[in-house]
Chain A
Amino acid sequence: MSPRPRPFLEPEYCKSCLRCIEACPRACITPGTVINPETGLIPVELHLENCNGCGLCMAACPEPFGLRPTTESFASVLDFELEDPAALFGPKIVPNYSEGDEPDETIPLPPCEPLVLKGSYASAIGALLAGCRHVFGYPITPSTEASELMAKILPKIGGHFIQAVSETAAVNMMYGAGGAGVPCITFTSGPGFSLMLEGISYMIGAEVPGVFVNLMRGGPGLGNLGPEQADIKLACRGLGHGNTHALVLAPSTPQEMLELTRQAFELSFLYRNPVVVLGDGYLGQMTGIVKLPAEMKRVGLPAWAVSGDRAHRHNLICSIELSEDDLEAHNRKLNDKYAYISAHEQRADCYRCADARQLVVACNTPARMAKGAIEDARALGYKAGLFRPITLWPFPIAALTTLLPHIDQLIIVEGSPGQLEDELRLALSHAGISPPPITHVRHYGGVLPSQEEILDCIRENTGGPV
């Protein structure tokens, strides 16, 4: 045996490209003459009498199992003598594959004075307390302040804020960092959210967690900066291409901006799926009282993470499945997940609903206008109540269903041309429920329905105070 290993070839792995022939300075390789029955190709033939083991042919071969040094063939062909691999290469390295998740740790927080915060800041602080140290974003009104706060705080606590070249890049940074098993978030608004949808589809396909805070502004197109709710359709039905869904949480106060952002991280990792926190522009800008929770998180590392260490080396983050059967099976798995979420994660808040005859349905800031209107209506003797979905997907149909028997009129209040109403009607339809009459108060273009309009609608859609 020469000091340098000579090549060997298992003929069925040769694609007959002939690159090795050019490479050999000693003319040891010739085009083959016999068709390999397994491949139908004609593998090259080796004549190694003059071979000095220079290795050039192996470096030219494009096939990993094409021309290889004899040292790699323990039980294979040619002149290799069987030896104990351990004697040749040392003891075999046994991969220490990750058996399970490295768990999160809950750290108690001392009691604090309530903060007076903008909703966007509250959301950012919620993310910090959830253990998020990776934020990727692109400035867009009215969400930018959250990114600014993160840019200020994160470098001081070993975190990273990256202002990406675009929202398209930002969502893919989340795909990378989320796939690496760390919690990450972005703060955006309609136009930016549109740009992220492709990436969200990839994240859902590859089951990568990540939190998207979309503070909706007036659209379509560049629109304006006023508060709107016309991305409900996108968040609930249009998360990029393919079979996609994500939990959509709808806060209505700065306090909920913090709480729902925190919960979004938990849900996102629990289900290995993105979660959308959907607010209107006012929720980003509005200042209010925010009480801090009693604990925060130090995050562990999930077993599935691609984290660049031995325990996780076998992992893959990927959404491509070439075989139709495999992709259908993957979609069934996603469907099962969606069904489980639909059954277990519906959330809603009911305000004065117990005896209500007219039920206003509203979320985000319009739910607060509605609350004011409900109080006015009650003072006038109307039995009005507010049903506020906190999850928009899944729509909290179970809670709504229990109220419907005593409801005479549903009034859907929204800053969009009926996207919330569409979700409600779809949920009713899937549940096989024929609803009471439905009417609505809507505004678009950066305007939200006012308390007075809602009150008027309550008064117009009833036989009078009960």
Chain B
Amino acid sequence: MSVFYNNFSRHAHGEGLKGHTTHYCAGCGHGVAHRDLAAVIDELALQDRVILVSPVGCAVFAHYYFNVGNTQAAHGRAPAVALGHKLAHPNAVVICYQGDGDLASIGLAETLSLAQMGLPITVIFINNAIYGMTGGQLAPTTLMGQKTTTSPEGRTLAMGQPLKMAELIATLDGPVYVERVALYDARQRRIARQAIKHALTLQQEGRGYAFIEILSECPTHLKLSPTESEKWVKEKMEPIYPLGVKKNKTGEPWFHPAPPRYIPEEILGLCGAERTRSAPPPCPWPAQLTARDLSFKFAGAGGDGAQTAALLLTRAAIEQGFDATNIPSYGPESRGGTSYADVHLAADEVLNPAAPEPDILIAFNSPSLAKFAPTVVTGGIILYDCTVIPAPRDLPANRRIFAVPFTQLARELGSPLVKNMVALGALQAVTELLPPLAILETMRHLLKDRPTWQPVNAAAFAAGQKAITLIAPDGR
């Protein structure tokens, strides 16, 4: 059988008997299952395409024997590793070979999620009702009353009852083929080999996920002879784990993922990049500003549009050739509670992007104004929505404060959502930071796919600009 290495050179360097005998105990079902798997791989001529993902457990050294691509996975993680392999090279035939501790205990989440995804991967599950490698402990599949080193008086109800993986996997929608087989006599071994062959064929044809549970013998920890173990599997295990096909819904081949593409224009488009436009006229840093860096805080309730306004200002500034940053609030607090954003604009480089003491505050609701107004630097600017905050209290002294009816002006335009554009218009009028049309151009650019939204936003911006001339600074 060419699927086995001629010399097991990975096994203690293949010297002496180790070059031709397995590390498995005499009569171990793993060996029989290995021969079945090798025979099927050979028969289907899949040797070059197979990637065998081996588990932690007695089969951890499967790569000693199988002359195929091999990956050895962490305990329980073989399904995740197998998925990585399959997506990396969809033409590979990926076999996930796992024992009961690996598949049904520590790796249960990975097992179930891979099965439900249903990608064409073949899982071979060796169920011998006990932990082999670690020395005979309780497995999820240990029988009731069965004595193990961690159930010395026998498995009791409180340890949980035997986990019937084939039945469990068969209840899922993802798998196309689930069968439980055994190795205890010639007939069962023939059925087992057919089941493995069917499963690999399904994968080869891209039809879907298959799960083969193999009832197997662990003579060492059953403390039985190999032939007694065969009998034990037949008489004790099989009644709890009935053999047979648990699911077979073979459909059409469906897994043909497209190969990765590397087309510059396509990727740039998806990233939102645009080809270089004609160089914008250089925009000088506003002469009226002594500072080379200005900080802003936009604050409101979620849905006030504070985040969008902050982003628009940031973008517009960058498009004018300045540096700008924007740190939004994020996480649960941004849903429902106060939503705020720290923005910096700088002539050269934004050094510190946080704005704990902003030069300018734009407040959309009363809690935001109360919270952040005292943090505004002396001589700084506060703009607030006087529609929703008609009578603000305790405003700090020595700040230039502008009351602007963001909400009312937006409502008059028939669209309360554009109150953030009103705010930006007011900000523009107060500070004359950017060229008058810069923010509008950025807005138009961002809404280029929604041209009908542009006029109301532009009108809101203009209303905000006008409002500032109408309302005198609150000169306290």
Same complex for A and B? Answer yes
- Please give the residue numbers on chain A whose beta carbons come within 8 Å of chain B beta carbons, in ascending order: 10, 12-13, 15-19, 21-23, 25, 38-39, 41, 56, 58-65, 68, 72, 105, 107-116, 125, 128-129, 131, 133-134, 136, 141-142, 152-153, 156-160, 162, 164-166, 168-170, 172-182, 184, 198-199, 202, 206, 224-225, 254, 281-282, 285-289, 292, 296-298, 306-310, 312-320, 322-323, 365, 368-369, 371-373, 375, 448, 450-451
* Cα distance, A166 to B80, chains bound together (Å): 10
Main secondary structure of the interface of A (DSSP, over half): mixed
Q: Is the CB of A116 within 8 A of B318?
A: yes
A17 to B218, CA, bound (A): 12
B264 and A308: CB pair below 8 A? no
Task: Select from chain B the residue with minimum beta-carbon distance to A217.
Answer: B331
A172 touches B264 (CB 8 A): no
**Are A156 and B270 in contact, with the CB atoms below 8 A?**
yes
Is the beta-carbon distance between A198 and B74 smaller than 8 angstroms?
A: yes
Known: A172-B84, A179-B71, A198-B74. A64 touches B63 (CB 8 A): no
Chain A contacts for B72, CB-based, 8 A:
206, 316-320
Min C-beta distance of A238 to chain B, whole Å: 17
CB distance from A250 to the nearest CB of B (A): 16
Within the assembled complex, what's the spacing in Å between the Cα atoms of A173 and B84? 4
B-to-A contact residues, CB < 8 Å: 1, 4, 10, 12, 17, 20-22, 24-32, 34-36, 38-39, 47-51, 53, 60-61, 63, 65, 67-74, 77, 79-85, 87-89, 91-94, 109-110, 112-113, 185-186, 189-190, 193, 219, 225-227, 230, 257-268, 270-277, 293, 311, 314-315, 318, 323-328, 330-333, 350-354, 356
Give bound CA distance, A107 to B193, whole Å: 48
Residues in chain A near residue B314, CB distance under 8 A: 116, 287-288
Q: Which residues of A lie under 8 Å from residue B70 when comparing CB positions?
A: 306, 315-318
Contact A16 B326 (CB under 8 A): no
Residues of chain B within 8 A (CB-CB) of A38 are 17
Q: Are A64 and B331 in contact (CB under 8 A)?
A: no
State which of A59, A308, A451 has its C-beta within 8 Å of the C-beta of B92: A308
Decide: A307 near B77, CB < 8 A? Known: A23-B186, A111-B275, A165-B110. Answer: no
Q: Which residues on A sit within 8 Å (CB–CB) of B36?
A: 59
For A153, give its contact among B51, B270, B324, B327 (CB under 8 Å): B270
Q: Which residues of A contact B274 (CB under 8 A)?
A: 112-113
CB distance from A434 to the nearest CB of B (A): 32
- Contact present for B81 and A176 (CB under 8 Å): yes
Q: Are A371 and B352 in contact (CB under 8 A)?
A: yes
| Given A64-B38, A285-B328, A285-B330: A365 in contact with B30 (beta carbons within 8 A) | no
Q: Which residues of B contact A314 (CB under 8 A)?
A: 67
Cβ contact within 8 Å between A308 and B89: yes
Question: Are B273 and A157 interface neighbours, CB within 8 A?
Answer: no
* CA gap between A158 and B87 in the complex, in Å: 10
Report yes or no: B275 in contact with A169, Cβ–Cβ below 8 A. no
Q: In the complex, are the beta carbons of A369 and B354 less than 8 A apart? A: yes
Contact of B264 with A313 in the complex, beta carbons under 8 Å: no
Chain B hits for A178, CB < 8 A: 84
Q: Which of B49, B94, B272, B293 contacts A309 (CB 8 A)?
A: B49
